[in-house]
Amino acid sequence: MQSFQQDCVELAMCAYRRGQVSRRGLLAGLAALGALPMTGGDALAQAVRQIVMVNWGGIANQGFGRFYGEPFMAANPGWRVVQDSTGPSAGRIRSMVESGRVTWDICDSSATSSHLLGGLNLLTKIDYGVVNRENVIGPTFALDYGAAPYSFSNVLVYDSSKFPTAPTGWADFWDLQKFPGTRLLRRDAAGALDAAQMSLGKDLANLYPLDVRASLERVRQIRRNLVFWTSGSESEQFMRTGEAVMGQIWHTRAKVLEQETNGRLKFIWNQGILQPGIMVIPRGNPAGAMAQNFLASMLANPEQQVELLKFLGNGPTNPRAAALVPEEFKRFNPTEPANARVQVAQDGRWWGENYARVNADYIDMVTG
């Protein structure tokens, strides 16, 4: 299953090829990479210590290196941040920590994985003496076993040419009478069941714990009208080719569709499912406690987070960042106060505790 991070990378790569990401942006990224061997030259090799940041490949190397790595290196001489694009899935982190030869310091993971892996004692707890909780906009962005320097959202996207009135939330997603046509969901319980629960009319402030049985049943009701995506490009393709007329997809993909079709495909922030891009520290990481300082620096830098929003589409999580976002990017920023207000923050703790079981049931229902 493709994760959100992998998808950002792919999306940014496409954007760059189409010329939507500036050449300057890419060149600066390349320069950052090119500069690394110099600081790590023979004479300095002994003195320089490194932090290995693991991402999902492609242009995240540039994005994360430039907007997370460089500011930290500037502030901490003697340290350099290197990017590794292996793709730190929960399974890979587990096998690395259990083998006892950990080479990763900080991994682009998720709230769910941080709870799963943390529960298995495979991660280092975040030291909130070093990392400042005040630097994120909400409690779901600062967890026991991970903290989020960026955010993303699962939003409702629809084909406006197919419906006379616009859908306003997940209740409309389930209303096949009023909005006929095929629906699109991710083949992942997290996101789909949150939406199902919202469609049942539960008070948004007390959405969690989800009523798993009722939510699963709710998805089952429209199963015949559903198709499922597993990668971001696939989700985009389903909407673009008219396979589905309404779907739940990542906001970064929804943005592309809306801009590309001049607003024929639209997305709404209302009842979007806001999620943190959680970074985790594997237990026994080589750089030790310095990884905490690096994480603290990522959270504390609103300017760089806004640059990442422009570059990859990831929403900033620092409370001071929203004011720095240029007007034309506000519509697409999940943590813009006006957008964040109408969304629901996904409860990573509840999902972490229940994900394995609930997702197995969900996939069972989907494939049944």
Partner 1 sequence: MTAAGRPGAGWWWLILPAFLLLVVFYVAPILQVLAISVTEPEPGLGNYERLFTSGAVQRVIVTTLRICLITTVLALLLGYAIAYAITLASPRARGWWILAVLVPLWISVLVRAFAWVTLLRRQGLVNNTLMEAGIISEPLPLVWNEFGIVVGMVHYMVPFAVLPMLASMREIDPRLLAAARGLGGSRGQVFRRVFLPLSMPGVIAAAVLVFIFTLGFYITPAILGGGKTLMVAEWIGLQILDLIRWGLGTMMATMLVVAILVTLAVFSRIVDLRRIFGAGA
Footprint of partner 1 on this chain (CB under 8 A)?
1, 89-92, 94, 116-117, 120, 187, 226-230, 241-243, 355-356, 359-360, 363-364, 366-368
Residue 242 CB, shortest distance to partner 1, in Å, is 5
Helix, strand, or coil (residue 129): coil
Pick the closer one to partner 1 by CB: 113 or 339: 113
| The residue type at 326 | P
Closest of 43, 83, 37 to residue 60, by C-alpha = 83
- Asked if 297 and 136 count as a contact pair (C-beta separation under 8 A), the reply is no
Pick the closer one to partner 1 by CB: 127 or 243: 243
Residue 308 CB, shortest distance to partner 1, in Å, is 26
Q: CB neighbours (10 Å) of residue 212? A: 17
Residue 16 CB, shortest distance to partner 1, in Å, is 22
Residue 365 CB, shortest distance to partner 1, in Å, is 10
Residue 49 CB, shortest distance to partner 1, in Å, is 31
Helix, strand, or coil (residue 247): strand
**What's the CA gap between 253 and 97, in Å, rounded?**
33
Residue 259 CB, shortest distance to partner 1, in Å, is 21
Pick the closer one to partner 1 by CB: 117 or 198: 117
Pick the closer one to partner 1 by CB: 186 or 310: 186
Pick the closer one to partner 1 by CB: 282 or 334: 282
Helices (H), the chain: 4-17, 23-39, 42-45, 60-64, 70-75, 90-99, 111-119, 170-173, 189-199, 212-221, 232-240, 251-260, 290-300, 302-312, 327-330, 337-342, 348-367
Pick the closer one to partner 1 by CB: 89 or 132: 89
